[in-house]
Structure 1
Amino acid sequence: MKLRENNPLGELGSAIGIGLLAGLAGTAAITLSQMIEMKITKREPSEAPIKVATETTGIKPANAAEKEKVSQEIHWAYGTVWGIARGLIGLTGLKGIPANIAHFGAIWGTSMIMLPAFKAAPPVTEEDPKSIAIDGFHHAVYALAAGIVFDTIASGSKNQKRLDKLIGKLQLKGLIK
Structure 2
Amino acid sequence: MKIHEDNALGALGSAIGKGLLAGLAATAAMTLSQTIEMKITRRESSDAPVKVVEDVADAKPSAPEDKQKLSQEIHWAYGTAWGIARGLIGLTGLKGVPATLVHFGAVWGTALVMLPKHGAAKPIDEQEPKAIAIDVLHHGVYAVAAGLVYEALDAGSRRERKLNKLAGNLKSLIKRFK
In the superposition, the TM-score normalised over structure 1's length comes to 0.89
- Partners of 2:164 and 2:75 in 1: CA distance: 40
Matches within 5 A, 1:154-165: 154-156=154-156, 165=164
Matched, 1:116 2:132: no
Equivalent residue for 2:94?
Answer: 94
Matched, 1:144 2:134: no
Secondary structure of 2:45's aligned partner: coil
- Partners of 2:53 and 2:98 in 1: CA distance: 32
Equivalent residue for 1:31?
Answer: 31
Identity in percent = 59
Equivalent residue for 1:5?
Answer: 5
Q: Work out the number of aligned pairs and report it.
A: 169
Secondary structure of 1:61's aligned partner: coil
Query: How big is the alpha-carbon RMSD for the aligned residues of Structure 1 and Structure 2?
Result: 2.0
**After superposition, what is the alpha-carbon deviation per residue over 1:78-120, rounded to whole angstroms, capped at 9, x for unaligned?**
0000000000000111111110000000000000000000011
Amino acid at match of 1:153: L
In the superposition, the TM-score normalised over structure 2's length comes to 0.88
Secondary structure of 1:94's aligned partner: coil
**After superposition, what is the alpha-carbon deviation per residue over 1:49-83, rounded to whole angstroms, capped at 9, x for unaligned?**
00001111111213333111111110000000000
Equivalent residue for 1:169?
Answer: 168
Displacement of 1:45: 0.5
Equivalent residue for 1:105?
Answer: 105
Secondary structure of 1:62's aligned partner: coil
- Partners of 1:160 and 1:89 in 2: CA distance: 14
- Partners of 1:95 and 1:161 in 2: CA distance: 11
Amino acid at match of 1:155: A
Unaligned runs of 5+ in 1: none
Equivalent residue for 1:48?
Answer: 48
Amino acid at match of 1:150: Y
Equivalent residue for 2:19?
Answer: 19
Unaligned runs of 5+ in 2: 174-178
Displacement of 1:121: 0.5
Comparing 6-15 with 55-64, which one deviates more in the overlay?
55-64
